[in-house]
């Protein structure tokens, strides 16, 4: 049981930032990753479609005998996590939003910003969960949909990405925030650029490490930490192009071998 | 037969620039449009997946009794048009690349540039077709993948879009071109911004009008021009969000009513 791998899924390869954090914090664990590149990006899709995709991918991971399923995608966490918990009630499920809400509850900030895809922001999930938890906190949300393609196309640490990031983050609603949640697994790549816009003065909340810590606690609590041999990590995507391989290395910060798993036809 | 509608498909709503040109050049025709928003964008997907999607959508349009199928997507034209012609040999099929090649053959340019998605550019389709036709022409291709999300997110006629467009088009390979093919149905929206980079000095080849003209010629030749009553235009998408409705109006330059057609589950 303990040797079974950790299942992780995302709409594409952005969730590999979370996989990377898990490999650092839990080096004894093996992982099975699924990136739904046939439907990527989820950020523009309807909640209905994302539920459908998430359900099917969870089944795929369970068929691969995972001991836990981690939804490493904010759009899917916002739109599909509740239905997954209901439908897979025997499975340990972890999303990328609740651990961040738990973390923020310890901080007592008065004003928090959250940026993410259209799907994540329009769901209001961060806003609602943080407000339910800490009644006093004001949460302002901003959709920043160009950041994902910008990062994927390699526009980072240059004038163009600085201009795009500055344009988004100059939104008056973000004035006076003490923390900014990076509500998308792509955004850790530009964490420093974002931090600079705020003169390195606010808490930039990067979920990858927080989620990996939550996973570690969960495995400990359930006595599921792997003490034995490690299985081989496996990385699946639903549509294959060499481009995915290239950006996967950027997010995972290491060599990676992507295999196509055609679960949609 | 002549009253039957014109079938048009694209990966999303960008192909509505072609639909718009058709409504202007052929006001007597009715159209059935299908935007595969569940899989958009095609520009990052594999040729194999795009073939699969294009085949299924063509079947959907034929079930709706269209008299011609127009592939209003460069990525699908580049990757799937040949297989569609083989598999639907009884159907009149028009793509967005061949009419542009025909147009350019009359111009005798020495050096032509083409910009498009990763899928369109890596296919080499424009390059090969133009070279086969006019042996003397040098064709330089450049993938400009951030332009589609940039346009969709409304970054047009502003500093950010100018910086992105200028960065792409400053590529040394484009030096000395006499014409630039806008190899993506989104790009007509930024035609003037692109033209300005070249001091309005080169031929910016916008396929929408060229393809609509090719369609008119084809219908005339086959005696299929509608002289009778018009049917109601219909616009289907495979995943629905209000956002698609909003950007559909930008591309179609008019009111539009999108219906969800779930052909994938």
Angstrom distance (rounded) from CA A13 to CA A185: 9
> pLDDT digit string (tens) for B145-203?
999 999 988 899 998 999 999 999 999 999 999 999 999 999 999 999 999 999 999 99
pLDDT higher at A265 or A258: A258
| CA gyration radius, chain B | 18
Residue pair A57/A83 in contact by the 8 Å Cβ criterion: no
Q: Which chain A residue has its CA at the smallest distance from B241's CA?
A: A46
Q: What domains sit in chain B, N to C, each tagged with a CATH number?
A: 6-95+209-260 (3.40.50.1860), 98-207 (3.40.50.1860)
pLDDT at B265: 75
Of all residues in chain A, the percent with pLDDT exceeding 90 is: 91
pLDDT at B254: 87
A16, A73, A84, A215: the active-site residue? A73
Q: B111: which strand partners? A: B138
Residue pair B18/B212 in contact by the 8 Å Cβ criterion: yes
Q: Which chain B residue has its CA at the smallest distance from A40's CA?
A: B39
* Mean of the per-residue pLDDT values of chain A: 95
Angstrom distance (rounded) from CA B265 to CA B228: 37
Q: Can A184 be counted among the known catalytic residues?
A: yes
Angstrom distance (rounded) from CA B101 to CA B208: 13
CB contact (8 A) between residue B39 and residue A39: yes
Positions of B marked active-site: 73, 184
> pLDDT digit string (tens) for A179-202?
999 999 999 999 999 999 999 999
| Confidence category of residue A44, pLDDT binned at 50, 70, 90 | confident
Of all residues in chain A, the percent with pLDDT exceeding 70 is: 100
> pLDDT digit string (tens) for B201-246?
999 999 999 999 999 999 999 999 999 899 999 999 999 999 899 8
| CB neighbour class for B161 (10 Å; exposed up to 12, middle 13-18, buried from 19) | buried
Residue pair B147/B184 in contact by the 8 Å Cβ criterion: yes
Q: Quick one: tokens of B43?
A: 């520009």
Per-residue pLDDT, averaged over B116-140, amounts to 93
CB contact (8 A) between residue B241 and residue A44: yes
| Confidence category of residue B262, pLDDT binned at 50, 70, 90 | confident
pLDDT at A265 over 80: no
Residue pair B97/B126 in contact by the 8 Å Cβ criterion: yes
pLDDT at B21: 96
pLDDT at B134: 82
- What number of residues does chain B have? 265
| CB neighbour class for B213 (10 Å; exposed up to 12, middle 13-18, buried from 19) | middle
pLDDT at B44: 86
pLDDT at A192: 95
Q: Considering only CB atoms, which chain B residues are within 8 Å of A261? A: none
CB contact (8 A) between residue A49 and residue B239: yes
| CA gyration radius, chain A | 18
Q: Which chain A residue has its CA at the smallest distance from B56's CA?
A: A265
| CB neighbour class for B254 (10 Å; exposed up to 12, middle 13-18, buried from 19) | exposed
Q: Among A49, A146, A163, select the one facing B153 at the smallest CB separation.
A: A146
Query: Do the bridges between strand B138-143 and strand B111-116 make them parallel or antiparallel, or are there none, so unpaired?
Result: parallel
> pLDDT digit string (tens) for A119-166?
999 999 999 999 999 888 999 999 999 999 999 888 999 989 999 999
Q: Quick one: tokens of A119?
A: 């799907």
Q: Considering only CB atoms, which chain A residues are within 8 Å of B44? A: 37, 40, 241, 243
For chain B, the residues whose C-beta falls within 8 A of a C-beta of chain A are 37-40, 44-46, 49, 52, 118, 145-146, 148-150, 152-153, 155, 159-160, 163-164, 167, 239-241, 243-244, 264-265
> pLDDT digit string (tens) for B19-78?
999 999 999 999 999 999 999 999 889 999 999 999 999 999 999 999 999 999 999 999
Nearest-10 crossing angle of helices B125-133, B98-105:
40
Per-residue pLDDT, averaged over B75-84, amounts to 96
Q: Considering only CB atoms, which chain B residues are within 8 Å of A40? A: 44
Angstrom distance (rounded) from CA A175 to CA A42: 29
Peptide bond between residue B57 and the one before it cis (omega within 30 degrees of 0): no
Q: Among A46, A159, A239, select the one facing B45 at the smallest CB separation.
A: A239
CB contact (8 A) between residue B146 and residue A164: no
User: What angle is formed at CA A83 by the lines to CA A78 and CA A88, rounded to 5 degrees?
Assistant: 125
Sheet-wide strand order for B31-35: B93-94, B68-71, B6-10, B31-35, B234-237, B258-260
The ipTM is: 0.84
pLDDT at A45: 92
């Amino acid at each position: 049981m303990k040797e079974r791998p950790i299942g992780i899924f995302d709409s594409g390869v952005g969730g590999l930032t979370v996989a990377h954090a898990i490999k650092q914090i839990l080096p004894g664990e093996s992982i099975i990753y699924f990136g739904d590149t046939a439907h990527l990006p989820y950020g523009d899709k309807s909640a209905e479609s994302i539920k459908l995709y998430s359900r099917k991918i969870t089944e795929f991971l369970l068929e691969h005998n995972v001991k836990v399923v981690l939804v490493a995608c904010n759009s899917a966490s916002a739109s599909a996590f509740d239905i997954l918990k209901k439908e897979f009630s025997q499975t340990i499920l972890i999303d990328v939003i609740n651990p961040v809400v738990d973390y923020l509850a310890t901080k007592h900030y008065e004003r928090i910003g959250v940026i993410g895809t259209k799907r994540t922001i329009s769901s209001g999930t961060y806003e609602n969960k943080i407000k339910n938890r800490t009644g006093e906190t004001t949460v302002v949300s901003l959709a920043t949909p160009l950041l994902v393609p910008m990062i994927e196309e390699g526009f980072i640490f240059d004038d163009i990405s600085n201009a795009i990031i500055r344009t988004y983050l100059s939104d008056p609603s973000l004035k006076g925030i003490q923390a900014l949640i990076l509500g998308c697994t792509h955004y850790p790549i530009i964490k420093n650029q974002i931090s600079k816009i705020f003169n390195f003065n606010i808490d930039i909340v990067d979920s990858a490490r927080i989620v990996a810590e939550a996973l570690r606690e969960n495995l400990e609590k359930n006595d599921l930490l792997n003490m034995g041999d490690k299985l081989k990590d496996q990385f699946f995507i639903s549509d294959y192009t060499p481009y995915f391989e290239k950006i996967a290395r950027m997010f995972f910060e290491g060599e990676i071998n992507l295999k196509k798993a055609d679960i949609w036809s």
